Structure 1
Amino acid sequence: MSCAYSDVTEVSGEDRVYVRIKPGMGSSQIGELLEKEGVIDSQAKFWLAVKLNNADSKFQAGVFELQPGMRPGDALNVLIHGRSSAVRVTVPEGLNVRQVAKLFAQQGLVDEKEFLSEAKDFAPYDYIEAVPEADYRIEGFLFPDTYDFANDATPRDIMQKMADEFDRKLTPEMRQQAADCNLSIYELVNLASLVEKEARYPEDRPVIAQVFFKRLDINMPLQTDTTLQYLRDEVKEDLSIEDTLVESPYNTYLHYGLPPGPIASPGLASIEAVLHPADTDYLYFVADRDGHNHYGYNYDEHLDLVNQVR
């Protein structure tokens, strides 16, 4: 079972229960938690074991691997003498570096500001280009997946593991296909990040990739709202004309070509869509309120679609 940890527990399989003990938790809270999750059958017995062992101040903070149906004394022994376990975190597709930092901070693994500071210049692979205008050099290369991290993992440890996973997932065939399309790895991920943020449904990804390629080919601004949303702390459902005038190298309404760097971490499906775009001549697309995209060949057709779906 793959899932992110909460303040309580997550069960993996039938014989493991992961329990997070936070600093300052008392024996009553811990006993209640253990009973609730089936580790022990009696909170009262656990409390008695704590008192007999004078263990009120001996609990360690961290995530511990226990089993269902343990004797209270055995569970207590793990919590005061055992080593804390790994923290499992699921990173979904389409998160940017700021969102990843917040996610790991919520899990108690990192300091959010420290993570963002490290992310500005962290680049463990040569294909992660140094672009002065890019907010975070590692942006786009923190591969979305489920990971187990040690409690003492540093921001660099975390970013290295995620970047290593990206490097493993990008096969030699995919790298060759990118080269055949005259794309660097950095450009591939940059484009894929736009596709990831624009497409809610799988069938839209290769068509949106084609639209972006066509616009680049004819030197037309990409005009993707996703790059404007990247500049914001919170997503705005409907961007205004004023939003499209914000001066930033990420504003693809004002600036031609790709943004300075990726705006999120794309999944494999979006990367594959860039490597294998649809064979169409669409130049415009607009999403309806359910996230389905509608495509047009010219601006007049696009305006008609906007009126229909919005």
Structure 2
Amino acid sequence: MTDDLGLFADEPDERQRRAPDPERFRRRKRRRLVTALASLFVLVLVGCGVLYATSQLMQIGSYEDYQGEGAGDVVIEIKSGETVSAIGRNLAEQDVVASTKAFTKAAEGNRQINSIQPGYYLMRNKMSGDAAVTHILSAAAKVGRVDIRAGMRLEDQLAPDNGHTPGILTKLAEATCAGENPTCVTSEEMHRVAATADLASLGVPQWALADASKAEPKRRLEGLIMPGLYDVKPGETAENVLRDVVTRSAAALEVAGLPKAAEGSRYSPYELLKIASLVQSEGITKDFGQISRVIHNRLAPPAMHLGLDSTINYPLDKPSLLTRPEDRGIDGLYNTYKNYGLPPTPISAVSKEAVQAAEKPTDGTWKFFVKCYPDGTSCFADNQAQHDAYIDEARARGAF
């Protein structure tokens, strides 16, 4: 007969099963401590968030206001899409107004405030809400805006009164100045950086780097700055200003079709940019496609001299399309009366329309054109005899 106790011979003693495990206890204690610390950390974060949100609501809701027009200079930036409250909060943080509410209350019912443009504005310290609203909507407040137009060049141009018309680099330098005691970039410094800074660091696109690097230093960025409105931060460095403008221009050139449009063509993207600058400088928008065709036809074998007056005047810093015989006789890389092919660089800022005309010229067999109407419209000819007849007509109309 089997002993009943034998059935449990291999079972551990009850007291042995219940004996404490020190290592297991320590692990459990550590887990509890970590859990407690994590919970405390979460509570602290939530508390900070609540405090911050409360402070922001109190700041927006509180109403304090300064008196008067304020004093000194404060440059503030308004970003695209900012609400009136966001603008007011920015002004309050920089002590332009005493509180967000001072600005938003003064702006109530003023429709103009909703159409305020992004950019930089010169304000004053400790302005009343009413004074801040009135001033920020005035023309005097907007600073740092540069309007670069198609056909502009990097260098200053000679004016009819023997003065100078500011070029792109001078206009960008001037935009860094604002206020009573401004810290400005000089035109000389802007020109120096444009001529010496690393092109890649300035945002020049990869497809233009090799050709731009070979150019005369002061002409390296020609054609690589697109027309448009640019907001320059007053007091900004020349390198930062150029980097912003060139980088934005590279994106605009891509939208216009470069470098993709050069694929499968006989021209590189940089060569198409040169053609676009010639088109831009030689005619009005409605004639761009035909002017581009003349240039393409003259470049095609058997090649002809381009014979463009705009390239003669380019190194002379003259904006006129008319040239003198002695100027056309000057040797130089930009003399397309003497040299075959394209000039070494673009010669102006190019519009999207000029780029697209360079990429896809109008179909035609023309090899000559001349401005033949006072409004700038050109006449296009297949041969020299037709061209000479158009020149006579142009003179009779007073076109030039």
For normalisation by structure 1, the TM-score amounts to 0.71
Letter in 1 for 2:144: V
User: Structure 1 residue 191: deviation in Å?
Assistant: 0.9
> Taking structure 1 as reference, are residues 204 and 75 closer, same or farther at Cα in structure 2, changes over 3 Å only?
closer
Trace 1:74-89 onto structure 2 (pairs within 5 A): 87-89=144-146
User: Residue 215 in 1 paired to residue 298 in 2?
Assistant: yes
Give deviations 1:24-61, integer Å, cap 9, x for gaps.
Answer: xxxxxxxxxxxxxxx9xxxxxxxxxxxxxxxxxxxxxx
Letter in 2 for 1:95: M
Trace 1:1-310 onto structure 2 (pairs within 5 A): 63-64=121-122, 70-72=129-131, 87-98=144-155, 99-107=167-175, 108=177, 110-122=185-197, 123-124=199-200, 125-128=205-208, 129=211, 130-133=213-216, 135-169=218-252, 170-171=254-255, 174-200=258-284, 202-217=285-300, 218-236=302-320, 238-288=322-372, 289-310=374-395
SS at 2:207 equivalent: coil
Unaligned runs of 5+ in 2: 1-79, 85-106, 108-119, 156-166, 178-183, 396-400
Letter in 2 for 1:102: T
> Taking structure 1 as reference, are residues 230 and 87 closer, same or farther at Cα in structure 2, changes over 3 Å only?
same
Separation in structure 1 between the aligned mates of residue 353 and residue 133 of structure 2, nearest angstrom: 43
> Taking structure 1 as reference, are residues 121 and 222 closer, same or farther at Cα in structure 2, changes over 3 Å only?
farther
Letter in 2 for 1:203: K
Letter in 1 for 2:270: Y
Count residues in correspondence.
247
Letter in 2 for 1:119: A
Separation in structure 2 between the aligned mates of residue 148 and residue 209 of structure 1, nearest angstrom: 32
Give deviations 1:234-269, integer Å, cap 9, x for gaps.
Answer: 334631211111111011111110001011110111
Letter in 2 for 1:126: Q
SS at 1:127 equivalent: helix
Letter in 1 for 2:322: D
User: Structure 1 residue 155: deviation in Å?
Assistant: 2.1
1:222–1:257 Cα contact (<8 Å) kept: yes
User: Structure 1 residue 232: deviation in Å?
Assistant: 2.0
2:292–2:362 Cα contact (<8 Å) kept: yes
Letter in 1 for 2:368: Y
> Taking structure 1 as reference, are residues 173 and 87 closer, same or farther at Cα in structure 2, changes over 3 Å only?
closer
Letter in 2 for 1:197: S
Unaligned runs of 5+ in 1: 1-11, 16-38, 40-61, 79-83
1:252–1:258 Cα contact (<8 Å) kept: yes
Q: Larger deviation: 227-236 or 261-270?
A: 227-236
Separation in structure 1 between the aligned mates of residue 346 and residue 282 of structure 2, nearest angstrom: 13
> Taking structure 1 as reference, are residues 182 and 159 closer, same or farther at Cα in structure 2, changes over 3 Å only?
farther
Letter in 2 for 1:127: W
User: Structure 1 residue 274: deviation in Å?
Assistant: 0.7
Separation in structure 2 between the aligned mates of residue 65 and residue 145 of structure 1, nearest angstrom: 25
User: Structure 1 residue 221: deviation in Å?
Assistant: 0.9
User: Structure 1 residue 162: deviation in Å?
Assistant: 2.0
SS at 2:259 equivalent: helix
Larger Rg: 2
Q: Which residue of 2 aligns with 1:5?
A: none
Q: Larger deviation: 189-198 or 104-113?
A: 104-113
1:121–1:136 Cα contact (<8 Å) kept: no
> Taking structure 1 as reference, are residues 216 and 135 closer, same or farther at Cα in structure 2, changes over 3 Å only?
farther
Separation in structure 1 between the aligned mates of residue 231 and residue 351 of structure 2, nearest angstrom: 19
SS at 1:180 equivalent: coil
2:173–2:238 Cα contact (<8 Å) kept: no
Superposition CA RMSD, Å:
3.3
